[in-house]
Amino acid sequence: MNSLIRATRRKAGDLQFSQTRHSSVKALLERFKDPTSPFHLPPGTQGPESPDPPPEELSPADEGRVKLIELGFDPDSFWEQPIVWGDHDSFQHVNNVRYLRFLESGRIHWMGALGREIGGPEKADAMIKGKGVSLILKSVSLDYKRPVVFPDTLLVAHKPHPGPLYTSSRVDSPGVTTRRQAKTHFHVMGAIWSYTQRRIVTESDSVLVWYDYDRLVKCDPGEVARAAIQRRMNLGKTLSSP
């Protein structure tokens, strides 16, 4: 009996809420029609635009930069690579070998930024020309995620890490960030973002070795160079900190 009473009261409450809501909507519509009401809308017109500005949609370039920075990639490494028709092969997409060149261009651009931090423009010039202590590529692996076709522009990005690593989604995982930087080498994660597809289309991981081009041997570059690399390794950790 009590349950029946509660059910009846609940239905009555729902009905009352529905009637109140209907009355409120009806009253508001009537005020729109009333010429003396501040809410009046003459027939054939519409209300004022929202006072809030419309949300700004990021350009493909800005979206790529934001996403890669969120993943911990070094903004100093960002390199735009336009795709030309000659990048295609007979399979009607950008040839796989081209990506090695794209990553190389981005890596050399990043080395220049690294050199400027270590010792200014002169050091940057020396590192790119292979004079004194610089870097040499030991190995590189690529993971092709999506084919790219003309026309398109790619954004190439790099981030050093202690290694090894196989995907950019793990670039800031505890298993990677807790490893110590070696004295003579480090790993570099690479990512290629497509402006047309608005996503990462290729990833890479490589090993760079500190190399003395005067003595032709690998070497310890010193505390200043290692600190510059460590700062870049910490980018993702800084962004993810509370």
pLDDT tens by residue, 205-215 = 999 999 999 99
How wide is the angle at C-alpha 181 spanned by C-alphas 176 and 185, nearest 5°?
Answer: 110
Q: Is 41 helix (H, G, I), strand (E, B) or coil?
A: coil
Is residue 126 over pLDDT 80? yes
* Mean pLDDT, residues 44-73 taken together: 85
Residue 5: its pLDDT value, please? 42
Q: Classify the phi-psi angles of 57: left when phi > 0, otherwise alpha if psi is within -120 to 50, otherwise beta.
A: beta
Is residue 152 over pLDDT 80? yes
Q: Of 58-62, 101-105, 172-176, 219-223, give the lowest mean pLDDT range.
A: 172-176
Is residue 96 over pLDDT 70? yes
Average pLDDT over all residues of the chain: 84
DSSP result, 69-117: HHTT--GGG-EEEE--GGGB-TTSSB-TTHHHHHHHHHHHHHHHHHHHH
pLDDT tens by residue, 157-194 = 999 998 875 555 555 555 544 567 889 999 999 999 99
Residue 241: its pLDDT value, please? 39
Residue 165: its pLDDT value, please? 55
Is residue 137 over pLDDT 50? yes
Confidence band, pLDDT 50/70/90 cuts, at residue 67: very high
Q: Of 76-85, 97-106, 166-175, give the lowest mean pLDDT range.
A: 166-175
Determine the Cα–Cα distance for residues 157 and 235; give it in Å rounded to an integer: 13
- Does residue 226 or residue 46 have the better pLDDT? 226
Confidence band, pLDDT 50/70/90 cuts, at residue 55: confident
Residue 24: its pLDDT value, please? 74
What is the number of other CB atoms lying within 10 angstroms of the CB of residue 232? 25
Residue 230: its pLDDT value, please? 95
CA trace torsion 224, 230, 231, 234 (10° rounding): -170
